[in-house]
């Protein structure tokens, strides 16, 4: 069953935005949940930049959610709303829990009471496996978070399972591994690297300061993961699904790739700062995507080197400079 009307929370972020865009392009009616403060900011956006109709609501307010869902009667609800910046989750652990954990309870209670036929997708995180000690991780890996964000995501994942089993809701968990796009905020590591490279190319800086270069992550492309989310929701049997590329790369590999494609030696520009390292480094987070591939026919289409090049190019263009390989190609064509 393809949902014809969808409600997407966290629609101003990465995967939520691309889900809305994916659904709109195929002709579905898409509503994006926003708070009043967000709505005011979005008033300046062109219609083409907003692939959804904004509707007011707040994950802290169960009544607003229930009233909205009752009125819209969506076929599918995609929940991407969360406080997702891990350092901030240590500074605001209660607010992180309210949005990222209890917000899911409020949504599911609203679905149970006023739209029990709606299909529901909860955006999970690989951070729920931070201390698991095994690599790669799959849907049966024990939950072992190590920070308030991961703890909140583990609570949400278990809540979805409980509501699915107790009330028969068509509620699924998509356990997303780290994913990137030009919509990624600059404080996140991958974007910090690619934007830093672009700023060096543009002559705006000469040095990039980073923490632990040995950290391993499974990096994917957000639009690919948006397609996975839609496929999971439309699958006849709800469940839990690891969404990942299945490939792990160190931060050093990311840095070397990003600098290498612009013809620079990363060692001349990267400075290590131990203050930027996590107090307790997590295990290598690499997802096993075989279940999602077998069940819904999804696999990552954008691999690591392509993703790095895509992101460096986007950041170069954002700063008004052509990526060096584009300039070289133009010169060779003359």
Collect all residues with Cβ–Cβ distance below 8 Å to 331 and sequence separation of at least 6: none
Catalytic positions: 125, 127, 149
C-alpha–C-alpha distance, residues 90 and 82, integer Å: 14
List, in sequence order, every residue forming a beta bridge with 6; answer none if it has no partner.
30, 76
| Residue 218 burial class via C-beta count within 10 angstroms: exposed 0-12, middle 13-18, buried 19 and up | buried
Q: What's the distance, CA 312 to chain centroid?
A: 19
Phi-psi bin for 293: left (phi > 0), alpha (psi -120 to 50), beta? alpha
Q: What are the structure tokens assigned to 152, written together?
A: 């909140």
C-alpha–C-alpha distance, residues 228 and 90, integer Å: 30
C-alpha–C-alpha distance, residues 26 and 4, integer Å: 10
CB 196 within 8 A of CB 254: no
C-alpha–C-alpha distance, residues 155 and 201, integer Å: 43
* CA 213 vs CA 23, 72, 193, 298: distances in Å: 38, 47, 12, 30
Q: What are the structure tokens assigned to 277, written together?
A: 């390292």
Cis bond upstream, residue 327 (ω within 30): no
Q: What are the structure tokens assigned to 221, written together?
A: 């492309």
């Amino acid at each position: 069953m393809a949902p014809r009307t969808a409600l997407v929370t966290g629609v101003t972020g990465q995967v939520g935005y691309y889900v809305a865009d994916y659904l709109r392009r195929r002709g579905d009616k898409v509503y994006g949940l926003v708070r009043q403060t967000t709505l005011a900011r979005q008033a300046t956006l062109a219609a083409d930049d907003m692939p959804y109709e904004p509707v007011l609501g707040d994950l802290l307010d169960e009544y607003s959610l229930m009233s909205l869902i009752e009125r819209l009667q969506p076929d599918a609800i995609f929940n991407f709303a969360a406080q997702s910046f891990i350092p901030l989750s240590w500074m605001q652990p209660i607010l992180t829990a309210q949005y990222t954990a209890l917000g899911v309870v409020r949504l599911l209670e609203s679905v149970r009471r006023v739209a029990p036929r709606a299909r529901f997708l909860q955006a999970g995180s690989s951070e729920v496996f931070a201390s698991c000690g095994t690599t790669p991780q799959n849907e049966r890996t024990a939950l072992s978070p190590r920070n308030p964000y991961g703890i909140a995501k583990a609570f949400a994942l278990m809540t979805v399972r409980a509501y699915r089993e107790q009330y028969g809701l068509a509620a699924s968990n998509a356990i997303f591994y780290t994913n990137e796009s030009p919509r990624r905020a600059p404080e996140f590591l991958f974007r910090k690297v690619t934007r830093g490279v672009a700023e060096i190319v543009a002559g705006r800086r000469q040095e990039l300061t980073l923490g632990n270069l040995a950290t391993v992550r499974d990096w994917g492309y957000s639009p690919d993961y948006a397609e996975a989310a839609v496929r999971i929701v439309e699958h006849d049997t709800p469940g839990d699904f690891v969404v990942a590329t299945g490939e792990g790369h160190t931060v050093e590999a990311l840095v070397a790739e990003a600098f290498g494609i612009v013809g620079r030696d990363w060692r001349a520009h990267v400075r290590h700062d131990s203050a930027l390292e996590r107090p307790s480094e997590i295990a290598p987070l690499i997802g096993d995507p075989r279940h999602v591939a077998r069940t819904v026919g999804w696999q990552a289409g954008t691999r690591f080197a392509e993703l790095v090049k895509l992101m460096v190019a986007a950041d170069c263009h954002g700063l008004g400079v052509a990526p060096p390989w584009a300039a070289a190609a133009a010169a060779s064509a003359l």
